[in-house]
Amino acid sequence: MNSHFFVNSSTSQEPTSGQSKATETDSVPSEPNPSIEEYYNLQKELFVTTLTMTGVIFISVWIFYSLNTALNYAIGACVGVVYLRMLAKDIERLGREKKSLSQTRMALFVGLIIVATQWNQLNIIPIFLGFLTYKASLIIYVLRTTFLPSSK
Protein backbone atom coordinates (compact mmCIF):
# COMPACT_ATOMS: atom_id res chain seq x y z
CA MET A 1 0.00 0.00 0.00
CA ASN A 2 1.26 3.50 0.79
CA SER A 3 4.53 3.94 2.62
CA HIS A 4 5.00 7.55 3.60
CA PHE A 5 6.97 6.97 6.76
CA PHE A 6 10.12 8.99 6.19
CA VAL A 7 10.60 11.72 8.76
CA ASN A 8 13.22 13.85 7.06
CA SER A 9 12.49 14.52 3.43
CA SER A 10 14.92 17.42 3.00
CA THR A 11 17.41 17.28 0.20
CA SER A 12 20.92 16.38 1.14
CA GLN A 13 23.72 18.74 0.23
CA GLU A 14 27.42 18.06 0.16
CA PRO A 15 29.10 19.58 3.20
CA THR A 16 31.49 22.42 2.57
CA SER A 17 34.72 22.75 4.45
CA GLY A 18 34.03 23.30 8.12
CA GLN A 19 30.63 21.57 7.94
CA SER A 20 30.14 18.02 9.11
CA LYS A 21 28.16 15.43 7.23
CA ALA A 22 24.58 14.88 8.36
CA THR A 23 24.13 12.05 10.79
CA GLU A 24 22.91 8.73 9.54
CA THR A 25 19.64 9.09 11.45
CA ASP A 26 18.51 11.90 9.10
CA SER A 27 17.82 9.43 6.31
CA VAL A 28 16.71 6.43 8.39
CA PRO A 29 12.95 5.91 8.33
CA SER A 30 11.19 6.35 11.61
CA GLU A 31 9.09 3.61 13.13
CA PRO A 32 5.74 3.41 11.35
CA ASN A 33 2.83 4.82 13.28
CA PRO A 34 0.88 1.81 14.65
CA SER A 35 -2.49 3.37 13.88
CA ILE A 36 -1.48 4.06 10.28
CA GLU A 37 -0.26 0.48 9.94
CA GLU A 38 -3.55 -0.73 11.41
CA TYR A 39 -5.48 1.46 8.97
CA TYR A 40 -3.54 0.10 5.98
CA ASN A 41 -4.08 -3.47 7.19
CA LEU A 42 -7.81 -2.78 7.53
CA GLN A 43 -7.86 -1.25 4.07
CA LYS A 44 -6.10 -4.28 2.57
CA GLU A 45 -8.40 -6.70 4.41
CA LEU A 46 -11.53 -4.90 3.17
CA PHE A 47 -10.29 -4.91 -0.44
CA VAL A 48 -9.38 -8.60 -0.31
CA THR A 49 -12.72 -9.51 1.30
CA THR A 50 -14.65 -7.43 -1.23
CA LEU A 51 -12.82 -8.92 -4.20
CA THR A 52 -13.20 -12.46 -2.85
CA MET A 53 -16.92 -11.97 -2.27
CA THR A 54 -17.25 -10.45 -5.75
CA GLY A 55 -15.67 -13.52 -7.33
CA VAL A 56 -17.79 -15.99 -5.38
CA ILE A 57 -21.02 -14.09 -5.98
CA PHE A 58 -20.21 -13.55 -9.67
CA ILE A 59 -19.74 -17.30 -10.22
CA SER A 60 -22.88 -18.10 -8.20
CA VAL A 61 -25.01 -15.63 -10.16
CA TRP A 62 -23.61 -16.97 -13.42
CA ILE A 63 -24.52 -20.54 -12.42
CA PHE A 64 -28.00 -19.80 -11.06
CA TYR A 65 -29.09 -16.97 -13.38
CA SER A 66 -27.20 -15.99 -16.53
CA LEU A 67 -23.92 -14.57 -17.73
CA ASN A 68 -25.62 -11.25 -18.53
CA THR A 69 -26.92 -10.90 -14.95
CA ALA A 70 -23.51 -11.91 -13.58
CA LEU A 71 -21.78 -9.31 -15.74
CA ASN A 72 -24.24 -6.66 -14.53
CA TYR A 73 -23.37 -7.66 -10.99
CA ALA A 74 -19.64 -7.47 -11.81
CA ILE A 75 -20.02 -3.95 -13.22
CA GLY A 76 -21.66 -2.80 -9.99
CA ALA A 77 -19.07 -4.59 -7.85
CA CYS A 78 -16.18 -3.01 -9.77
CA VAL A 79 -17.67 0.45 -9.31
CA GLY A 80 -18.15 -0.41 -5.62
CA VAL A 81 -14.44 -1.28 -5.31
CA VAL A 82 -13.49 2.00 -6.99
CA TYR A 83 -15.85 3.81 -4.61
CA LEU A 84 -14.26 2.04 -1.63
CA ARG A 85 -10.78 3.02 -2.86
CA MET A 86 -11.85 6.65 -3.27
CA LEU A 87 -13.34 6.58 0.22
CA ALA A 88 -10.13 5.12 1.65
CA LYS A 89 -8.03 7.83 -0.01
CA ASP A 90 -10.42 10.49 1.27
CA ILE A 91 -10.19 9.14 4.81
CA GLU A 92 -6.40 8.94 4.57
CA ARG A 93 -6.24 12.67 3.81
CA LEU A 94 -8.70 13.55 6.57
CA GLY A 95 -7.02 15.60 9.27
CA ARG A 96 -3.77 16.22 7.37
CA GLU A 97 -5.02 17.92 4.23
CA LYS A 98 -8.79 18.08 4.60
CA LYS A 99 -11.25 19.00 7.32
CA SER A 100 -14.16 16.89 6.04
CA LEU A 101 -14.92 14.10 3.60
CA SER A 102 -15.80 15.09 0.05
CA GLN A 103 -18.95 13.92 -1.66
CA THR A 104 -17.49 13.68 -5.18
CA ARG A 105 -17.27 9.89 -5.05
CA MET A 106 -21.07 9.80 -4.79
CA ALA A 107 -21.15 11.04 -8.40
CA LEU A 108 -19.63 7.69 -9.34
CA PHE A 109 -22.65 5.83 -7.95
CA VAL A 110 -25.15 8.29 -9.39
CA GLY A 111 -23.48 8.05 -12.81
CA LEU A 112 -23.60 4.25 -12.65
CA ILE A 113 -27.32 4.22 -11.88
CA ILE A 114 -28.06 6.78 -14.59
CA VAL A 115 -26.17 4.71 -17.18
CA ALA A 116 -27.94 1.54 -15.99
CA THR A 117 -31.37 3.13 -16.39
CA GLN A 118 -30.62 4.50 -19.86
CA TRP A 119 -28.87 1.49 -21.39
CA ASN A 120 -31.28 -1.32 -22.23
CA GLN A 121 -28.73 -4.14 -21.80
CA LEU A 122 -28.06 -3.25 -18.16
CA ASN A 123 -30.21 -4.33 -15.23
CA ILE A 124 -30.41 -1.96 -12.29
CA ILE A 125 -30.91 -4.51 -9.49
CA PRO A 126 -27.78 -6.65 -10.14
CA ILE A 127 -25.69 -3.51 -10.64
CA PHE A 128 -26.99 -1.97 -7.42
CA LEU A 129 -26.43 -5.20 -5.46
CA GLY A 130 -22.94 -5.48 -6.95
CA PHE A 131 -22.18 -1.96 -5.82
CA LEU A 132 -23.27 -2.88 -2.29
CA THR A 133 -20.78 -5.78 -2.10
CA TYR A 134 -18.26 -3.53 -0.35
CA LYS A 135 -20.87 -2.89 2.35
CA ALA A 136 -21.19 -6.64 2.92
CA SER A 137 -17.43 -6.85 3.45
CA LEU A 138 -17.71 -4.09 6.06
CA ILE A 139 -20.46 -6.02 7.83
CA ILE A 140 -18.36 -9.19 7.78
CA TYR A 141 -15.43 -7.27 9.27
CA VAL A 142 -17.58 -5.79 12.04
CA LEU A 143 -19.14 -9.15 12.89
CA ARG A 144 -15.75 -10.87 12.86
CA THR A 145 -14.12 -8.30 15.14
CA THR A 146 -17.13 -8.25 17.45
CA PHE A 147 -17.52 -11.98 17.95
CA LEU A 148 -13.89 -13.00 17.45
CA PRO A 149 -11.92 -10.05 18.88
CA SER A 150 -8.76 -12.07 19.53
CA SER A 151 -8.24 -12.92 15.85
CA LYS A 152 -6.78 -9.99 14.01
pLDDT tens by residue, 115-150: 888 888 888 899 999 999 999 999 999 999 899 877
Residue 106 lies in a domain: yes
pTM for the whole thing? 0.69
Domain count, the chain: 1
pLDDT over 90 percentage in the chain: 40
pLDDT tens by residue, 84-99: 998 888 888 776 666 7
- Cβ 146 vs Cβ 138: under 8 Å: no
Residue 18 lies in a domain: no
Domain range spanning residue 48?
Answer: 39-147
Q: 62 falls in which pLDDT band (50, 70, 90)?
A: very high
- Cβ 60 vs Cβ 133: under 8 Å: no
Residue 22 lies in a domain: no
